[in-house]
């Protein structure tokens, strides 16, 4: 009637019923014979419909026993495909994280299907739709623009319907609280960075934070609250905040240059920086402005990217565990594929002491 062949209609109805949870955990689906009566079709048609569901990995057929709904995630035939959506492949510490994911997956006979969202929700959406098509068995996602609600919530929910486990990494969408995440302790990191500087004798702290991702928002919150708790002066004015689009020309923009001038004018003596990639151009710009580093300004940043050891002064930084982090994400995903319930987890930063934030001589 609807132009659609019967077997697809039947498949769709069953698919929906499975998604709605009418069938219990690993329980038996109605018998082919019963479905035949229910839908008034031949057994062949029923079988064709069920073949669709089997293709989607929603059911398991066992001869002599029955057809079982797979509410636990599916057991593919040996090879698992894990989709990986990262913001960027080259930026920051992504390569190391990816390497950790890849190694762990390969050790468990799984492969990684990698795509980059460029931190763009629209691209994220189209990639997710593509990956769904590509039959991945699980998905690890570095959320993009996580400070705001995602327009792609429906995609993530559709994955859940299909029993495809999802894990957020580094950044997650607050509203999708049924999806587990593995993140860094960004709030704690923000606190730690501020406290370290204060304990080393720095008196007036500034901060540079990217604010369209949860990471930056949380680091900024930790920074702010640490200062308040320590009874240090703080005003929103001492923060330079920016979004992803601005990152390339931040320090050539009006707002960025103005901030650099204030740093050069010694309005502050300490700086917490969103990450090493931003710390590096700050250092360069300040040296060009004749600022003595680290004497005039102590800097602590995040990540421990390769560049942090090569800067002059070498950056004191809170190290991201990178490969270990990626491996952990992969482990969680593999466990989810085994049917286990994984909770949220946050990993701790490790302070790497270099030259950019020495203990301040009291002056």
Partner DNA sequence: ATAAATTTGTGCGTATGTATC
Partner DNA sequence: GGATACATACGCACAAATTTA
Which stretches of the chain bind its own copies, using CB under 8 A? 77-79, 81, 88-90, 94-96, 98-99, 102-103, 106, 109, 111-116, 127, 130-131, 133-134, 306-307, 310-312
66 near DNA, rule: CB under 7 A: yes
8 is a contact residue toward DNA (CB under 7 A): yes
What does 151 bind: DNA, its own copies, none (CB cut-off 5 to 8 Å by kind)?
Answer: none
Q: Of 265 and 310, which has the nearer Cβ to its own copies?
A: 310
Q: Shortest Cβ distance from residue 310 to its own copies (Å)?
A: 4
Nearest to 113 by CA among 81, 68, 74: 81
Stretch that binds DNA, among 6-14, 18-26, 88-96, 190-198 (CB under 7 A): 6-14
DSSP type of residue 250: G
Q: Binds 45, which of DNA, its own copies, none (CB < 5 to 8 A, cut-off by type)? A: DNA
> CB of 14: closest distance to its own copies in angstroms?
20
In the list 2, 20, 24, 65, the residue contacting DNA (rule: CB under 7 A) is 65
Name which position in 21, 22, 27, 42 contacts DNA (CB under 7 A).
Answer: 42
The single residue among 67, 150, 304, 317 that binds DNA, judged by CB under 7 A, is 67
**Residue 65 zone, left/alpha/beta (φ > 0; ψ -120 to 50; rest):** alpha
Between 105 and 226, whose beta carbon lies closer to its own copies? 105
* Residue 31 binding partner per list DNA, its own copies, none, with a CB distance cut-off of 5 to 8 Å that depends on partner kind: DNA
Cβ distance to its own copies smaller for residue 115 or 304: 115
Q: Residue with structure tokens 């709605």?
A: 20
Q: Closer CB to DNA, residue 11 or residue 179?
A: 11
CB of 25 to DNA, least distance (A): 16
Distance of closest approach, residue 2 Cβ to DNA, in angstroms: 10
Output 50-54 pairs: Cβ under 8 A, ≥24 positions apart. Answer: 50/11, 50/14, 52/7, 52/8, 52/11, 52/15, 53/11, 53/14, 53/15, 53/18
What distance in Å separates the CA atoms of residue 5 and residue 7, rounded to the nearest whole number? 6
Q: Which does 48 bind (CB under 5 to 8 A by kind): DNA, its own copies, none?
A: DNA
User: At which residue do the structure tokens 């050539």 appear?
Assistant: 252
Rule CB under 7 A: say whether 76 interacts with DNA: no
Pick 47 or 75: Cβ nearer DNA: 47
- Closest CB to DNA among 31 and 306? 31
Q: Which of the listed partners (DNA, its own copies, none) does 102 bind, with a CB threshold of 5 to 8 Å by partner kind?
A: its own copies
Tokens 């009874």 sit on residue: 231
Cα–Cα distance between 61 and 68 in angstroms, integer? 6
SS3 at position 106: helix
Give CA–CA dist 278/337, Å, rounded: 37
Pairing of strands 110-116, 80-86: parallel
CA distance 99 to 62: 39
Distances (CA, A) of 206 to 194, 228, 264, 274: 9, 13, 12, 11
> Which segments of the chain does DSSP mark as H helices, in order?
6-19, 32-39, 43-55, 94-107, 121-133, 153-161, 186-199, 214-229, 254-264, 276-288, 307-310, 323-337
**Residue 216 corresponds to which tokens in the numbers above?**
């930056």
Using CB under 7 A, list all residues that contact DNA: 5-8, 28-29, 31-33, 40-45, 47-48, 61-67
């Amino acid at each position: 009637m609807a132009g659609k062949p019967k077997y697809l209609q039947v498949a769709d109805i069953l698919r929906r019923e499975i998604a709605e949870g009418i069938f219990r955990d690993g329980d038996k689906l109605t018998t082919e014979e019963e479905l035949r009566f229910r839908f008034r079709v031949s057994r062949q048609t029923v079988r064709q419909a069920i073949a669709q569901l089997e293709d989607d990995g929603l059911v398991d057929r066992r001869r002599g026993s029955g057809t079982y709904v797979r509410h636990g995630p599916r057991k593919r035939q040996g090879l698992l495909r894990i989709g990986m959506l990262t913001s960027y492949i080259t930026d920051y510490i992504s390569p190391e994280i990816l390497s950790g994911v890849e190694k762990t997956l390969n050790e468990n006979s799984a492969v990684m299907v990698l795509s980059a969202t460029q931190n763009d929700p629209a691209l994220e959406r189209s990639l997710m739709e593509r990956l769904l098509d590509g039959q991945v068995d699980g998905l690890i996602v570095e959320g993009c623009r996580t400070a705001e609600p995602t327009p792609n919530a429906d995609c993530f929910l559709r994955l859940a319907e299909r029993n495809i486990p999802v894990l957020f990494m580094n950044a997650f969408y607050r509203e999708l609280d049924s999806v587990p995440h593995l993140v860094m302790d960004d709030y704690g990191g923000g606190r730690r960075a501020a406290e370290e500087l204060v304990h080393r004798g720095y008196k007036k702290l500034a901060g540079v934070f990217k604010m369209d991702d949860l990471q930056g928002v949380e680091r900024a919150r930790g920074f702010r609250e640490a200062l308040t708790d320590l009874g240090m002066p703080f005003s929103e004015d001492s923060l330079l905040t920016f979004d992803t689009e601005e990152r390339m020309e931040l320090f050539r923009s009006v707002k960025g240059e103005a901030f650099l001038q204030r740093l050069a004018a010694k309005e502050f003596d300490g700086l917490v920086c969103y990450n090493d990639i931003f710390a590096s151009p700050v250092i360069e710009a300040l040296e060009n402005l004749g600022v003595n580093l680290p004497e005039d300004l102590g800097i602590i940043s995040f990540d421990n990217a390769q560049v942090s050891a090569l800067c002059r002064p070498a950056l004191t930084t809170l190290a991201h565990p990178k490969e270990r982090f990626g491996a952990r994400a992969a482990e969680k995903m593999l466990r989810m594929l085994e049917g286990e319930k994984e909770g949220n987890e946050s990993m701790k930063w490790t302070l790497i002491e270099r030259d950019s934030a020495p203990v301040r001589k009291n002056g």
